[in-house]
Amino acid sequence: MRNSNDKDNLGGNIMNQFQVRTDLALEAREKFEEDNVEIKGVRVEEKYNEETEIKITTMVIETENGAKAMGKPKGTYITLEAANMDCQDEDYHREISLELAKIIKKLLPKKQETLSVLVAGLGNREVTPDALGPRVVDNMMITRHVLKEFGKYAFGEEEVNAVSGIVPGVMAQTGMESQEIIRGVVEETNPDVIIAIDALAARSTRRLSRTIQITDTGINPGSGVGNHRHGLSKETIGIPVIAIGVPTVVDAATIVNDTMHMLIQAMEENSHLQTLSTGLNALNDMEKYELIRELLSPQLNTMFVTPKDIDESVKRLSYTLSEGLNIAFA
């Protein structure tokens, strides 16, 4: 017979095994709002532009307790949401790039001289949902080599930032952690800041390819899909790391969880099915995860889903992000 501690441990193991994964700090906060739990040490500010339909949420985790509750490091997390981000509208994407540039400029280190920036495109170029980082670097305006050879007047400008780029690939391709490669480049080139671009995992399907997260806390590549790699941060690299990511995948557990929620809502609206919905609503979180565990085989539990037009979305977003970065560094 298990005691209460064993039962708690079992519940924790199941919750960890079948948890709904997300890289977005905004979604981690929303989970607390759903449970009507107030998080101390976390400050949130929202702004919505009705003309461009762009919503910007700034969340600052100020205390260690807030960081522990959120499961995120202390720092600033800025989320840019645009419902039409997946549309093929160049003018609209230009608006998004301009907003992104404003955010990045605020997070960049303040320096009177030329700023040296290393843009790291994380991810696997051969896997479309994970190719965002490499494709952004492909579209960047790289200037460091020209400045070293000819100086800033080669651009006809008084101030030109030194921008370099690297695509470290993934461990399966190189046998090395991205952190190891980037740390070596940093030691040789001495940039002032790293901009790390990566694809993320979301909890909500409506945020796929429609949300950009910018944070000054760095990034843990692969964490959203349960593939934890060595993190890129000021603590591990020695210089500030600004991470920019767009969610391109959701896991199967998310879809099952959301479908169950919508099913219960539909049952509540149907007088013939209200009795059944009452029974499902009576399930606590532990019991719901048990049900999801039974619905998902071990193979499906590790499955991640991406939209069918992800190739076009990644291509379009890579231009949007690179344009925002080029504007910020101009």
Provide φ and ψ at 19, rounded to 5°.
-70, 150
Q: What number of other Cβ atoms are within 10 A of residue 63's Cβ? A: 13
Q: How confident is the model at residue 32 (pLDDT cuts 50, 70, 90)?
A: confident
How do residues 282-307 score in pLDDT, each as one tens digit? 776 666 666 776 666 666 667 788 99
Q: Are 25 and 70 in contact (CB under 8 A)?
A: yes
pTM of the complete model: 0.83
In whole angstroms, give the CA distance from residue 159 to residue 288.
Answer: 58
Of the candidates 224, 232, 180, the residue with the CA atom closest to the CA atom of residue 201: 224
Written as six digits, the tokens of 55 are: 């919503």
Given a contact cutoff of 8 angstroms between Cβ atoms, the answer to whether 118 and 189 are in contact is: yes
78, 214 in Cβ contact below 8 A? yes
pLDDT attached to residue 279: 66
Q: Cα 9 vs. chain centroid, distance in angstroms?
A: 29
Contact 213, 244 (CB under 8 A): yes
Element (H, E) at 42: strand 42-49
Tell the residue number behind the tokens 């006809």, with chain if given: 156
Cα distances from 198 to residues 110, 169, 217, 252, 284, in angstroms, run: 24, 11, 14, 21, 35
Q: Which CATH superfamily is domain 23-254+303-329 in?
A: HybD-like (3.40.50.1450)
Strands (E), the chain: 42-49, 54-61, 75-82, 116-121, 162-166, 193-201, 211-215, 241-251, 304-305
Indicate the domain borders of the chain: 23-254+303-329, 255-301
The amino acid present at 31, given as its one-letter code, is: K
**Which amino acid appears at position 154 of this protein?**
A
Phi-psi region of 123 (alpha: psi -120 to 50; beta: other; left: phi over 0): left
CA-CA distance, 28 to 32, in Å (whole number)? 7
Output the pLDDT for position 258.
Answer: 75
Return the DSSP state at 110: P
Closest-CA residue to 21 (of 227, 245, 242, 329): 227
pLDDT at 220: 79
DSSP-based three-state secondary structure for 271: coil
Instruction: Taking residues 43-57, report their average pLDDT.
Output: 92
Query: Residues 78-136: pLDDT tens digits?
Result: 999 998 898 888 999 999 999 999 999 999 998 778 899 999 999 999 999 999 999 99
